[in-house]
C-alpha cells in the first residue's frame, strides 16, 4: 500500500485529535512517526532500545522523549529525532499530530507525523538506539492482537511486526497511524492497554 504526502496531510487535517488533561502529574513527551521513501516504497523508522538503558531497555520504540522546558511537542519530536537518528526535519516536514497517549509509567505521549520524500542516512546514537528498522507501509497495516489480562479491563494490544510482538505504547501509536493516515479510518487508541511489564 502507498499514499501520497498530500493525502496524508489532508487526512491529518481532518482528524480531530484527542488530548490528555494533565494536572502536572504526567511528564509530557513526544515521538516522531517519521515517513521516508526508500526506493519505490514509503515506510517509517522503528528503533530498538539498548539493554543498558535505565527505562524500557530492549523495547521497540519510536524516536522521542520528554519535552524540554518551554518546548512544544512538535519541537521535542523533531529534536529527539535528530538526537537519536541524525535525521533533520523542517516545519514543512511536519504533517500533523495524532492523539495523546497516557502511559502507565506516568507519561503523556504526543505522536508527531513527519514526512520526508527521500531516505536520509541514519546516524543512530548508540546510547539510545541498539537497532533501527525501516518498516514499509504494507507491514504497518497489520491486524493487531487484543489480549485480556486480569490486571486491567482494557485490552492489551500486540502488533506482529519485525518477527516480534510490539506492545503499547509504541503499538498503539503505530496502529493509530496506520488506521487514520494510511487507511483513513477514524480510530481511537486511548482504551488500549500496555502489558504489565511496561507499567514501570
- Per-residue pLDDT of 133-184, as tens digits, reads 999 999 999 899 999 999 999 999 999 999 999 999 999 999 999 999 999 9
Q: Is residue 70 part of a domain?
A: yes
3-state helix, strand, coil in the chain (%, to 5): 25, 35, 45
Is residue 51 scored above 90 in pLDDT? no
CATH code, domain with 57: 3.90.79.10
Rg value, the chain, Cα: 16
Residues 43, 137: contact at Cβ < 8 Å? Answer: yes
Q: Is residue 47 part of a domain?
A: yes
Q: Is residue 30 part of a domain?
A: yes
* Three-class DSSP category at 166: strand
Q: Is residue 154 part of a domain?
A: no
The count of structural domains within the chain is 1
Full residue range of the structural domain in which residue 101 is found: 5-140
- Per-residue pLDDT of 64-94, as tens digits, reads 999 999 999 999 999 999 999 999 999 999 9
Q: Is residue 184 part of a domain?
A: no
- Per-residue pLDDT of 10-47, as tens digits, reads 999 999 999 999 999 999 999 999 999 998 899 999 99
C-alpha cell at 117: 520524500
Q: Positive or negative CA dihedral for 20, 63, 58, 60?
A: positive
CA pair distance 17, 199, nearest whole angstrom: 25
Residues 19, 100: contact at Cβ < 8 Å? Answer: yes
Per-residue confidence band for 58, with pLDDT thresholds at 50, 70 and 90: confident
| pTM score of the predicted model | 0.95
Q: Is residue 62 part of a domain?
A: yes
Residues 98, 186: contact at Cβ < 8 Å? Answer: no
Q: Is residue 22 part of a domain?
A: yes
Q: Is residue 192 part of a domain?
A: no
Amino acid at each position: 500500500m502507498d499514499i501520497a504526502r498530500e493525502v496524508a496531510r489532508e487526512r491529518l487535517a481532518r482528524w480531530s485529535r484527542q488530548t490528555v488533561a494533565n494536572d502536572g502529574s504526567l511528564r509530557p513527551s513526544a515521538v516522531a512517526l517519521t515517513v521516508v521513501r526508500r526506493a519505490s516504497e514509503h515506510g517509517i523508522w522503528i528503533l530498538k532500545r539498548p539493554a543498558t538503558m535505565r527505562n524500557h531497555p530492549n523495547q521497540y520504540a519510536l524516536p522521542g522523549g520528554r519535552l524540554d522546558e518551554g518546548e512544544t511537542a512538535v519541537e521535542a519530536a523533531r529534536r529527539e529525532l535528530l538526537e537519536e537518528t541524525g535525521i533533520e526535519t523542517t516545519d514543512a516536514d511536519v504533517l500533523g499530530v495524532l492523539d495523546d497517549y497516557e502511559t502507565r509509567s506516568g507519561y503523556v505521549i504526543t505522536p508527531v507525523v513527519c514526512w520526508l520524500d527521500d531516505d536520509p542516512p541514519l546516524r543512530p546514537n548508540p546510547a539510545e538506539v541498539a537497532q533501527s528498522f525501516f518498516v514499509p507501509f504494507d507491514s504497518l497495516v497489520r491486524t493487531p492482537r487484543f489480549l485480556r489480562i486480569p490486571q486491567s479491563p482494557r485490552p492489551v494490544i500486540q502488533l506482529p511486526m519485525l518477527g516480534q510482538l510490539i506492545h503499547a505504547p509504541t503499538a498503539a501509536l503505530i496502529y493509530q497511524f496506520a488506521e487514520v493516515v494510511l487507511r483513513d479510518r477514524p480510530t481511537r487508541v486511548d482504551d488500549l492497554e500496555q502489558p504489565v511489564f511496561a507499567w514501570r
